[in-house]
Structure 1
């Protein structure tokens, strides 16, 4: 209460502030706290987003794959271009951004990109595909391409992310593997043919020749028939030698693929002939046989040498054979000399010798067979090396 002058009476207290003012302050304090927590949460989210963006940028920058974004228009203008794309295709970012993807894609590759875009528009995704893209220098590179849609915050399509990976090494490895498998199959066929020819054909021919040999003794009083039967027997012998040469060639091809050069193959041929001859022929090799003689010429040379050594063992009955193989700047020369019985003048028809002459003539070379002194024969087989290198 107050006195008449409006002063508070002794012992009285002022009225406290209105209750609604305190509540207002408390509400404001709560709102400030909530705002502060919201700002802290927003700042945390922004930092996480920035870290994620930094990680994504680091991945895009460091990737060896070409990562390219193109707009959804039919021309597919390039929007982004990472360092991997520059390394793979040669264009810098300044040169390519804003250009049509057609700069990179030949007709077939552009059709593949349009097909992938159509798949995405229809079903939301496209299967990766393999194609060829064009580098800045005009060459083309094999790539595996993955195309994905890029959407804005409102879900609107804003472009396509295209990842192109260089698969040149992968395709080369696949081709090498396929070639190796095919080679194994071919080699298996060659081994089977060589085995069948040895085990079946040669044995039957050899049996027939032995039968004719035994028949000759019964035809001594019929010289004309005797001569005809002997000719058939000689033909069988020549056929056997030809087949054996083919078997040797098949086996030598396998040895050559296993890493043996011509010198090693020549030594192997001499070693095989040692058993049939009963002694080791002398071998002299001159020149760059392993580098200057093509596979085709080496195969022909070995076939001729095998036939010559077989003749020395079966017909000449030699006690010494000298083999010389020489490579000059122009020719490949084979010389085989023996001290055997020489050539029977009465024998004018030998398919084995005709085969050796044919092998030389097919390669543009010459074949001669002359008498050795004081006894035996000298075989010379010479072919030019021009055009024989692999």
Structure 2
């Protein structure tokens, strides 16, 4: 009986403890589930925050691409255009609907395409490429200077799947660089002109002047009148040379300016020669003289005229000179005087040689002949080709 009683007590005790343990276990399970739910909620909130941040970043990036003045595009396999921003439409003229799906090669000349392929190959082999300059085509066929940047696009595994390409219009930048280079070149030319002017003044003029003084001292010891007259003639030519050198030095010191019309420049040359000739040359024009010549050809004609009038002043002893400039299928400069005619020694002068060389350099001819009525006629002529600006105007 005692054992049974004790056993019953023991069984009773077990029945009271078991339910409490089960409740505790349930409470623990509920706590664990609540913790897992809280962790899941925090994870979902963090994921939502990350997704929202990524969405905002993507929206900002899309806004940057859409508002950029640069042309931005992405290329898939076969260099086909997959995306095309408004900047690309403004720069090249193609709408997104018309260009997407087309090869980027349609924007390039053969040379530009070769350069792009070289950059793409560099990215495949080295992983990156530097920006480069190229010329791409617009819808109207005109080419535009661009700075091109090409970057790789890769998938999650790192495989190359395309290229992100940006092109910036650098037309104004290149123009500014060209203007800067031209300004630097002008400064260098002016510095060189100053150096030449100094050398002419300090060395050449002094030597010519010294030679003139030496000849003047010699004439005092010459008794033959004809010999003395010839030496005085040489001294006069040396004086004229010094005046011309001083005029050249002055011109070298002046900045380059836009040339006046050719007619005006021819008239200026004739007016300048009046002081040496003692009278004003007559001048006449025939044909579209101002429209007929490129600047380089006009400068040769003016130099030829200057040399011709200088020869008349030195050698012809003329009282009248006529200058005629004719422009048609050819350009003809004719200088006629009523002087003493051709001197055989003068025909071999360096001035006449320069006139001949100038004409031959331009595919033309030069001749100087005596006139039956007295005096000399000089003809300097060059062809005017159909490609000349004058022939198309």
> Which interval holds the TM-score relative to the shorter structure?
0.5 to 0.7
2:144 equivalent among 141, 145, 156: 141
Q: Tell me by how many angstroms 1:31 deviates.
A: 1.0
More displaced stretch, 356-365 vs 93-102: 356-365
* 2:207 corresponds to 1:204: yes
CA gap 1:297/1:170 in 2 versus in 1, 3 angstroms:
farther
Once the two structures are superposed, the pairs formed by residues 156-195 of structure 1 within 5 Å of their partners are 156-195=159-198
Residue 253 of structure 2 aligns to a residue in which SS? helix
Structure 2 CA distance, aligned partners of 1:35 and 1:197? 95
Q: Alignment length, in residue pairs?
A: 301
- Give 5+ residue unaligned stretches, structure 2: 1-15, 291-311, 339-388
Asked if 2 retains the 8 angstrom alpha-carbon contact of 1:249 and 1:303, the reply is no
Partner residue in 2 for 1:53: 58
Structure 1 unmatched runs, 5+: 1-11, 263-292, 333-347, 371-385
Q: Distance in 1 between matches of 2:316 and 2:252?
A: 18
Check the 8 A contact 2:107/2:137 in 1, yes or no: yes
**What's the counterpart of residue 103 of structure 2?**
100
Give the superposition deviation at 1:300. Answer: 5.8
1:109 and 1:133 in contact (8 A); partners too: yes
Separation (CA, whole Å) in 1 of partners of 2:110 and 2:98:
21
> 1:62 is matched with which residue?
67
- Matched with 1:374 is none
* Cα contact 2:323–2:336 (8 A) shared by 1: no
- Measured in 2, the distance between the counterparts of 1:359 and 1:251 equals 29
Q: 127, 131, 153: which one pairs with 2:130? A: 127
Please give the alpha-carbon distance, in whole angstroms, between the structure 2 residues aligned to 1:137 and 1:151: 34
Cα separation, 2, equivalents of 1:304 and 1:245: 15
TM-score, scaled to structure 2: 0.66
Hey, what does 1:234 align to over in structure 2? 236
Q: Is the 8 A contact 1:102 1:110 kept in 2?
A: yes
Task: Name the CA distance, whole Å, in 2 between partners of 1:349 and 1:130.
Answer: 58
Q: Deviations over 1:90-125 (max 9, x none)?
A: 000001000011111211111111111111111110
In structure 2, how many angstroms separate the alpha carbons of the residues matched to 1:353 and 1:163? 74
Q: State how far apart, in whole Å, the 1-side matches of 2:23 and 2:288 are.
A: 122
Hey, what's the Cα distance between the residues in 2 that align with 1:76 and 1:160?
8
Q: Does the Cα contact within 8 Å between 2:82 and 2:101 map onto a contact in 1? A: yes
CA distance in 1, matches of 2:226, 2:88: 86
Deviation for aligned residue 1:365: 6.2
Aligned pairs for 1:226-305 within 5 A: 226-252=228-254, 254=255, 256-257=256-257, 293-294=260-261, 305=271
Choose between structure 1 and 2: higher helix proportion. 2
* Partner residue, 1:36: 41
- Tell whether the 8 Å contact from 2:316 to 2:337 is kept in structure 1 after alignment: no
Moved >3 Å (runs of 4+):
12-18, 296-309, 329-332, 351-354, 356-370
CA distance in 1, matches of 2:246, 2:332: 24
